[in-house]
Structure 1
Amino acid sequence: MDRRNNTHVSDFILMGLTESEEIQLVLFIIFLIIYLISVLGNTGMILIIHLDLQLHTPMYFFLSHLSFLDISYSTAITPKTLHNLLTSTKHISYISCFTQMYFFVFLGVAECFLLSSMAYDRYVAICNPLHYPVVMSKRFCCSLIFGSYFIGSTNSMINVLFMSRLEFCDSNVIHHFFCDTSPILDLSCTDTRGVEIMIFILAGSTLMVSLITISVSYLSILTTVLKITSTSGKRKAFSTCASHLLGVTIFYGTMIFTYLKPRKSYTLGKDQVASVFYTIVIPMLNPLIYSLRNKEVKNALIRLMQKRQDFRPLKKHHF
């Protein structure tokens, strides 16, 4: 067998989702529309939060960073996927592949901890409202954001360093539409058990810490809300958490299904569908979830539109 290590691998081939040209064209149109909605929706969310002073609160500070992560997360995967759907040559260079993997893991882990920070913010707002301005200070919020990015970057760097040591002997064909860990592990001709354990520990600890934080926060919120006597008070408290809880459920559900299981149970079809959902679809859903179910965002958009009309220059009349 002609063994060659990864230093001699110049590129990989991404097989994508299907070999049918007709289906590829349909997927290209669908993914392009989803990507455009995702970019426009998340960019719009960031602009609304930035321009409206009433949204300059910790909750929307975190939400603007969530929109930024969704744009970056989707952009790390979707453009290359769209390109491959239109071309017969589906090559991706070795460096580009591992760069894509780095940003994919980095942004995914950062989003996990950002969602945890948002859950803690809701906990303080509902369970300790009098201390909310002190606890959720600007400095503390910035620290949570920095911590999310730092942990995501460190986690991803370790992941990529271990993956880059793998050797590839017989094939450079990745049976996936982007450079994910499981399909690349399948290509390696060396023992991957150590790398698999490392990935499982990193992914497991990330999901465990973030999910514990979210679960404890929402259990405390639920306990506090049940003590509220007025129906309107309960409804208002639940409404502030409903959007975040829906986003968390969708995001973590697909992540757990895909990554917290043995690699032997990896199935190409089901895992690709799940991957499409959390890499392409979820970044589009988040701005819809947080805007359509949020009266404050709707009201902010109405205020901005009214301001634009008020400042619109009057037409000059010629006599």
Structure 2
Amino acid sequence: MEFFNSGLGRNITFVRPAYFIISGFIGIPNAKYYYVFIFLIFIASVLGNMAVMIVIIFDHSLRSPKYIAVFNLALVDLFGNFALVPKLLDVSLMNHTSIRYNDCLTYLFFCFLSLSMQAFNLVALCYDRLVAIIFPLHYHVRVNQKFMLGLIIFFWVFSVFVVLIAVGLLTRLSFCKSVIIRSYFCDHGPLYRLGCNDVTPSRVISLVLSNLILWIPLIFILASYCALAYALVKITTPKERMKAFKTCISHLLLVAIFYLPMIFVYRFGTVIHPNARITIMSLVSVIPPMLNPIIYVLQTQEIRQSLKKFTQVKSQLKISTVD
């Protein structure tokens, strides 16, 4: 208990509320229709990502390091959807706006863990494309299944460690100002700002998280694509150049969908209306997981061919059953 009270004044009692209240939208009539839209996106995302995972599991030709990262991306998208959306719908549609203290911290942990892994998974996919184009002859040596699995496991362990620190620092805060979280879930920033003792450690870890999740991966990805652009210039024939560029299109789309809205909120989050911030961030949470499987199905020839094979096998089974 001394650890929790270390940042409090002598005359301030440490306050750990029994529950928090998630405010959601403020003053918007018929906001429930928006959350019905979120629910439809959630269903599409779950079905799409499950389809991608099933195809990769059963098609042995999709066991390359790239598809290990794609499988993990689909897994992370499913994980993030189930971490965020059910409680979000319970709060918004069922009007169960209160959430217990420990449940709120658990909710925050899983949501931010998913967000971190989405960013790091984009780094893994970027590294795969970087080596495949710049060092094609050494690709199978530098990027093999063991390496990709090790990289993804490292990202999971690192993300769990960092997010646990962020959640742990919240437990030292005394919430004597308010219990209303101005967000659509137990968001870290709005939550630690409710503390009435020293919030500096939580502010620092918030800055660290934003750098780890937003800026450092983005800088690596941008630097990688600068190196890729330089390598593509050296390719003599336009046909080979276009073929190499097409292998990067799906990843570039994922990066743009994930990062552009986040950068906007990070840059203008203090001046835009809370309702606008909630709208943008909630869409960032559900739209990329829905689009990721669509982008990979449309842009990746191997997955399209695998889906065709599954469809043909299913049709043949139906015909044989009828006969």
In the TM superposition, residue 213 of structure 1 has moved relative to its aligned partner by 2.3
Matches within 5 A, 1:12-31: 12-18=20-26, 22-24=30-32, 26-31=33-38
Corresponding residue of 2:154: 147
C-alpha spacing 1:79/1:188, structure 2 compared with 1 (3 Å): same
Would you say 1:227 and 2:231 are equivalent positions? no
Would you say 1:10 and 2:18 are equivalent positions? yes
Secondary structure of 1:55's counterpart equals coil
One-letter amino acid of the counterpart of residue 96, structure 1: D
In the aligned structure 1, how far is the partner of 2:178 from the partner of 2:214?
32
One-letter amino acid of the counterpart of residue 14, structure 1: I
In the TM superposition, residue 133 of structure 1 has moved relative to its aligned partner by 1.0
Match of 2:39 among 32, 38, 42: 32
C-alpha spacing 1:87/1:220, structure 2 compared with 1 (3 Å): same
- In the alignment of these two chains, the number of paired residues is 313
Corresponding residue of 1:297: 303
Corresponding residue of 1:186: 193
Decide whether the 8 Å contact of 1:109 with 1:151 is kept in 2: no
Match of 2:252 among 237, 245, 249: 245
Would you say 1:307 and 2:313 are equivalent positions? yes
Corresponding residue of 2:181: 174
One-letter amino acid of the counterpart of residue 196, structure 2: C
- List alignment gaps of at least 5 residues for structure 2: 1-10
In the aligned structure 2, how far is the partner of 1:104 from the partner of 1:5?
27
One-letter amino acid of the counterpart of residue 303, structure 2: V
In the aligned structure 1, how far is the partner of 2:122 from the partner of 2:173?
32
Matches within 5 A, 1:114-153: 114-153=121-160
Corresponding residue of 1:287: 293
Secondary structure of 1:87's counterpart equals coil
Decide whether the 8 Å contact of 1:6 with 1:165 is kept in 2: no
Decide whether the 8 Å contact of 2:24 with 2:278 is kept in 1: no
Provide Cα deviations, 1:249-274, integer angstroms capped at 9, x if missing partner.
2212233333467x855741232122
Provide Cα deviations, 1:180-204, integer angstroms capped at 9, x if missing partner.
0121123222232332122102321
One-letter amino acid of the counterpart of residue 90, structure 1: T
Match of 1:210 among 212, 217, 221: 217
In the TM superposition, residue 68 of structure 1 has moved relative to its aligned partner by 0.6
- List alignment gaps of at least 5 residues for structure 1: none
**Bigger mean CA deviation after superposition, 209-218 or 58-67:** 209-218
Corresponding residue of 1:82: 89
Secondary structure of 2:31's counterpart equals helix
Decide whether the 8 Å contact of 2:126 with 2:224 is kept in 1: yes
Provide Cα deviations, 1:141-180, integer angstroms capped at 9, x if missing partner.
1111101101110110111111221111132111211000
Residue identity over aligned pairs, in percent, reads: 30
- TM-score (norm. length: structure 1): 0.91
In the aligned structure 2, how far is the partner of 1:237 from the partner of 1:134?
20
